[in-house]
Structure 1
Amino acid sequence: MAAMSNSYAQPILRTADLSEGLRVVERLLGIADLRDLEVDFEAIISSAHVLTPLLTLFPKAEWWGEGGESASSAEGDDPLTHLPLRLRGWAASPEPVGPFLDALDGSPATVRWDFMGWPEAPEIGLGVGGARGAFVTLCVNVRDLELEEPAADHTVFVHVKQVEAERAPWLAEQVGRQVIGDLVMAPN
């Protein structure tokens, strides 16, 4: 699906209140075409008490060692003996979002909703946005999409196609927000 191509993302909310971030995500999803909805999860995990419930939630998750550690799920290694690690769950249903967030205990993570498209934006001359740039990401305990800037707050990003950059501020307005940072290329 859309995970194979890059989108561009722009932050529209930064808050210490995770439930506020989730409300903004829900409002964005409320205007999106949610056919083919999938959710991707990623986290950097440093402790077994965080890793264990996440492995239960995502038994087929990919993981690999952080900081020069060469261990990975592809090698069949035991993740509990290779902390810290980066864990990624792909193409899940939305149901694990709550349990995933509950298990993090301060770990930096992202939840990305991937769907069919954004609505038409006639005020800015844009038709329906296709799946390639249609994502919403909630960054938890981190400021960036690559999980490199740990933070005490959470950020919501809207993703759009680069050629439709003006859709990001339009989307923000639709949910009573405005863009609060630069448009950046999102990781695959």
Structure 2
Amino acid sequence: MSTAVAYPVLRTTDLTDALTAAHRVLRIADLSKAEVYAHAKLTTVEELLRLRAAVPGAWYCTESAVVGADGEPVYGFLEEELPGDADDLAGLLPLEFTEEGQPIGDVPDGYEETFLSAVGAGPASLAWWWTTWPAVPELNLHPGAKHAEVQIAVHSADLFREVPADTHTLYVYVGPREAARAHWIAAQAGLHVIGPGLWDG
């Protein structure tokens, strides 16, 4: 078993630039099995209401259990299960917005832009999993699917939305000992690796 390594290839204050660059990287990959994963940490009612309106139907996770109507602990809510009252919503914060495993062909047009424009100032992530990198014969690299991912870490200095930042970082994921593939991918998209690889495990 091995762990992917994420290499930063762009750091910017402009989410549009980050998404545009991510699409350039994704054009290199086989996306036939790709899925989209979106996460955002929400700390204010305003952020929650904005994202709830922009991207309905998501799952919202609590950091610690709250007591449900039946007296049992609850760790998350479907969007339609969230209370409508602002005070009740405030009592659930912080929450994490989660939409995982959406086949890329089923994602509505404009979903990525809508999500990124609604996330607010907190850490968030937009990622594409289960992509496949092409073979690179000159580097003796076969097609790579096991660790082929792309991620925009939004307002985050790490991969897991734990370290807030004023910038957004685009990462390409490759297998261990595949730094050369990361540099090759970045170059094909008009980018370059700008820092050391980060283990995602």
Common topology (TM > 0.5): yes
Q: What is the number of equivalent residue pairs in this alignment?
A: 179
Alignment of 1:146 onto 2:160: yes
Structure 2 match to 1:169:
183
Structure 2 match to 1:64:
62
Greater Rg over alpha carbons, structure: 2
- Out of 31, 35, 52, the residue aligned to residue 34 of structure 1 is 31
Alignment of 1:98 onto 2:113: yes
2:39 and 2:148 map into 1 onto residues whose CA distance is 18
1:170 and 1:115 map into 2 onto residues whose CA distance is 19
Q: TM-score, normalised by structure 1?
A: 0.84
Structure 2 match to 1:119:
134
Q: CA RMSD in A?
A: 2.3
1:39 and 1:109 map into 2 onto residues whose CA distance is 14
Gaps spanning 5+ residues in structure 1: where?
Answer: none
Structure 1 match to 2:72:
none
Q: In structure 2, the residue corresponding to 1:70 is in which secondary structure?
A: strand
Question: Shift of residue 15 of structure 1?
Answer: 0.8
Q: Deviations over 1:127-168 (max 9, x none)?
A: 1111x2111000111121111221111100001111433211
Question: Shift of residue 123 of structure 1?
Answer: 2.1
2:175 and 2:3 map into 1 onto residues whose CA distance is 8
Q: Deviations over 1:54-98 (max 9, x none)?
A: 345252424122xxx334217x88682211122221012443211
Structure 2 match to 1:21:
18
Q: In structure 1, the residue corresponding to 2:155 is in which secondary structure?
A: strand
Give the 3 Å change call, closer, same or farther, for CA 48–6 of structure 1 in structure 2: farther
- Out of 11, 16, 21, the residue aligned to residue 8 of structure 2 is 11
Alignment of 1:129 onto 2:144: yes
What residue identity is the alignment partner of 1:82?
L
Q: Deviations over 1:24-68 (max 9, x none)?
A: 101011111010221101111101222234345252424122xxx
Give the 3 Å change call, closer, same or farther, for CA 15–148 of structure 1 in structure 2: same
